[in-house]
């Protein structure tokens, strides 16, 4: 993706639009009460409705509508008070009914935007054309004996987010996908895992001579299973199309796959003038009718976007940008952190403590806010050290409990009273005769060795200030 202006692509402008499919994290499927799962035993979460059995009828999951509308609100879309479902018809073995329930001419959400960092600094606004609700198809599993079908995914609710052709580079596409993934995930609407297929993106790419306003013939790139692969596919396709155009060839609309091994795109099928899915208004489902109150309520339930939270954490709690980013990995984690931070003056200490083990934050923090606040106080007031605080947090994470009680039970509280510290200090002076002598001779730096020995002997529990004072007393006589 280097910006080498000598490539054929340099004389053309890249124009990209994205179609992104996101699987919604509802408990049940879009049109029946089967559980939405990932990685379950094949065909254990399906019923007559999602298998397309005779006479089985779809009933719309209201949660799916809510999640789709919330995604629309996050992307600044207009949410329609009335939309309807349509049947998109084609035959495929993984499509049980012979049609996909989707939305054609009256989608749930229209006319939104999402801002991404612009190439030269500042922000660039990517326009969202529409977001519609639809159902997923099953999964084909190819084996040596034949092809098997897993219908667990049939009927899982999806949103398809269609942008205007506003991208000019792979970097912009990746920035958009990262931003999109973060806000959708943060709102708890989807896991957005590309490797599990809960975020899938098709890239529509065409080239045009720089300065032209017309769109060229586009290729639709599929099977892009990571952001990196999307970027690679775009880079390859830019060069391929540019080479065709530069050599006087013509491009035609087609669907192309991406080979992860070679990093190249390959022709899958040529698009006929336009594919005809013979859309039919879904007669089994009444129109989707929302009230303004409903939409307003959903808007009020949306979380503060993660980017805004990060900025606030930095200014309010004095967190580093990195720590703020780690805490905003999920809404659950950020919310719990904020709850705890509101109860303690030691919010920054708590943040750093939580951020020390970032992997586990995504699923949320299974420790009560009050306990977190008390732990922060132990650390902030110096009753426990940083390592001890991490052990206490681990313990609470796994088994719950009161931080002070855990500290006492595991012997993690600092020793600062004279009676406890005296044996360690005396042993240190006795065992380090040379250092003691040096100190008395005026080499103040020798105290450090003695202090280190006290810490070792107390297994780190000695309060350094108290131990230091005691050593000075012993040595000073």
Sequence-ordered strand ranges (E) for 222-272: 254-259, 264-270
290 binds another protein (CB under 8 A): no
The minimum distance between CB 151 and another protein, in angstroms, equals 8
The CA-based dihedral angle spanning residues 52, 53, 57, 61, taken in that order and rounded to the nearest 10 degrees: -50
Give the residue among 35, 60, 333, 70 at the shortest CA–CA distance from 190. 70
Residue labelled with tokens 């230091």? 468
Q: Of the candidates 23, 60, 231, 334, which one interacts with another protein according to CB under 8 A?
A: 60
209 binds another protein (CB under 8 A): no
89 binds another protein (CB under 8 A): yes
Residue with smaller CB distance to another protein, 25 or 97 = 97
Neighbours of 122 (CB within 10 A): 8
Query: 167: helix, coil or strand?
Result: strand
The minimum distance between CB 269 and another protein, in angstroms, equals 13
287 binds another protein (CB under 8 A): no
The minimum distance between CB 162 and another protein, in angstroms, equals 20
The minimum distance between CB 89 and another protein, in angstroms, equals 6
48 binds another protein (CB under 8 A): yes
Scanning residues 291 to 330, which ones bind another protein (CB under 8 A)?
none
Structure tokens of 454?
Answer: 């006290």
274 binds another protein (CB under 8 A): yes
Residue with smaller CB distance to another protein, 70 or 97 = 97
Sole window of 177-185, 282-290, 321-329, 409-417 interacting with another protein (rule: CB under 8 A): 282-290
Sole window of 51-59, 70-78, 173-181, 236-244 interacting with another protein (rule: CB under 8 A): 51-59
For residues 70 and 189, give the distance between their C-alpha atoms in angstroms, rounded to a whole number: 8
Beta bridge partners of 132: 160
The minimum distance between CB 90 and another protein, in angstroms, equals 9
Beta bridge partners of 337: none
437 binds another protein (CB under 8 A): no
Total interface residues for another protein by CB under 8 A: 31
51 binds another protein (CB under 8 A): yes
Beta bridge partners of 150: 139
87 binds another protein (CB under 8 A): yes
Structure tokens of 71?
Answer: 């995604």
User: Alpha carbon of 415 to those of 64, 346, 393, 418: distances in Å?
Assistant: 56, 21, 20, 9
The minimum distance between CB 202 and another protein, in angstroms, equals 22
For residues 131 and 315, give the distance between their C-alpha atoms in angstroms, rounded to a whole number: 35
For residues 256 and 89, give the distance between their C-alpha atoms in angstroms, rounded to a whole number: 22
Q: Of the candidates 2, 39, 54, 477, which one interacts with another protein according to CB under 8 A?
A: 54
For residues 331 and 348, give the distance between their C-alpha atoms in angstroms, rounded to a whole number: 19
> Kindly report the CA angle at 68 between 41 and 15, in degrees rounded to 5?
100
Residue with smaller CB distance to another protein, 56 or 475 = 56
Beta bridge partners of 203: 18, 221
56 binds another protein (CB under 8 A): yes
For residues 338 and 341, give the distance between their C-alpha atoms in angstroms, rounded to a whole number: 5
Describe the crossing of helices 306-317 and 347-355 by its angle, rounded to 10 degrees: 130
Q: Of the candidates 39, 41, 91, 213, which one interacts with another protein according to CB under 8 A?
A: 91
Q: Of the candidates 42, 111, 149, 370, which one interacts with another protein according to CB under 8 A?
A: 149
Instruction: Provide the mask over 97-126, with x wherever binding to another protein is found by CB under 8 A and - wherever it is not.
Output: xxx---------------------------
141 binds another protein (CB under 8 A): no
- Helix then strand count (H, E) for the chain reads 15, 16
For residues 11 and 15, give the distance between their C-alpha atoms in angstroms, rounded to a whole number: 13
Report the residue count for the chain. 477
Sole window of 208-216, 270-278, 443-451, 463-471 interacting with another protein (rule: CB under 8 A): 270-278
444 binds another protein (CB under 8 A): no
The minimum distance between CB 169 and another protein, in angstroms, equals 34
The minimum distance between CB 48 and another protein, in angstroms, equals 6
Neighbours of 446 (CB within 10 A): 19
384 binds another protein (CB under 8 A): no
Note the residues at the interface with another protein (CB under 8 A).
Answer: 48, 51-60, 87, 89, 91, 93, 96-99, 147, 149, 151, 274, 276, 278-280, 283-286
């Amino acid at each position: 993706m280097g910006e080498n202006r000598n490539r054929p692509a340099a004389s053309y402008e890249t124009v990209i639009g994205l179609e992104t499919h996101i699987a919604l994290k509802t408990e049940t499927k879009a049109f029946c009460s089967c559980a939405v799962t990932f990685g379950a035993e094949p065909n254990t979460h399906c019923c007559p409705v999602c298998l397309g059995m005779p006479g089985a009828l779809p009933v719309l999951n209201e949660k799916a509508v809510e999640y789709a509308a919330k995604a629309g609100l996050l992307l600044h879309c207009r949410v329609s008070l009335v939309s309807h479902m349509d049947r998109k018809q084609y035959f495929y073995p993984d499509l049980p009914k012979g049609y996909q329930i989707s939305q054609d001419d009256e989608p749930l959400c229209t006319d939104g935007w999402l801002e991404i960092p612009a190439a030269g600094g500042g922000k660039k606004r990517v326009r969202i054309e529409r977001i519609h609700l639809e159902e997923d198809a099953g999964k084909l599993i190819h084996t040596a004996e034949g092809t098997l079908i897993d219908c667990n995914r049939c009927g899982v609710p999806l949103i398809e987010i269609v942008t205007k052709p506003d991208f000019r580079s792979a970097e912009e596409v990746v920035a958009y996908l990262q931003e999109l993934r973060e806000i959708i995930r943060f709102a708890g609407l989807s896991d957005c895992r590309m490797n599990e297929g809960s975020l899938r993106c098709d890239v529509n790419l065409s080239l045009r001579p720089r300065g032209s306003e017309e769109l060229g013939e586009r290729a639709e790139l599929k099977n892009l299973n990571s952001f990196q692969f999307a970027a690679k596919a775009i880079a390859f396709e830019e060069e391929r199309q540019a080479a065709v155009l530069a050599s006087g060839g013509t491009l035609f609309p087609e669907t192309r796959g991406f080979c992860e091994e070679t990093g190249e795109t390959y022709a899958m099928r040529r698009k006929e003038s336009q594919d005809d899915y013979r859309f039919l208004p879904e007669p089994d489902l009444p129109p989707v009718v929302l009230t303004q109150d409903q939409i307003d309520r959903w808007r009020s339930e949306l979380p503060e976007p993660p980017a805004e939270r990060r900025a606030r954490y930095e200014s309010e709690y004095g967190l580093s940008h990195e720590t703020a980013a780690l805490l905003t990995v999920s809404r659950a984690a950020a919310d719990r952190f904020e709850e705890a931070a509101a109860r303690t003056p030691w919010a920054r200490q708590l943040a750093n403590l939580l951020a020390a083990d970032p992997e586990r934050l995504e699923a949320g923090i299974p420790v009560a806010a009050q306990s977190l606040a008390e732990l922060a106080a132990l650390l902030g007031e110096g009753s426990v050290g940083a390592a001890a605080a991490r052990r206490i947090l681990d313990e609470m994470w796994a088994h719950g409990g009161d931080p002070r009680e855990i500290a006492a039970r595991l012997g993690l509280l600092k020793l600062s009273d004279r009676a406890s510290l005296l044996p360690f200090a005396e042993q240190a002076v006795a065992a380090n005769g040379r250092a003691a002598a040096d100190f008395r001779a005026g080499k103040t730096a020798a105290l450090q060795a003695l202090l280190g020995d006290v810490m070792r002997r107390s297994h780190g529990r000695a309060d350094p200030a108290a131990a230091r004072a005691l050593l000075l007393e012993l040595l000073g006589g």
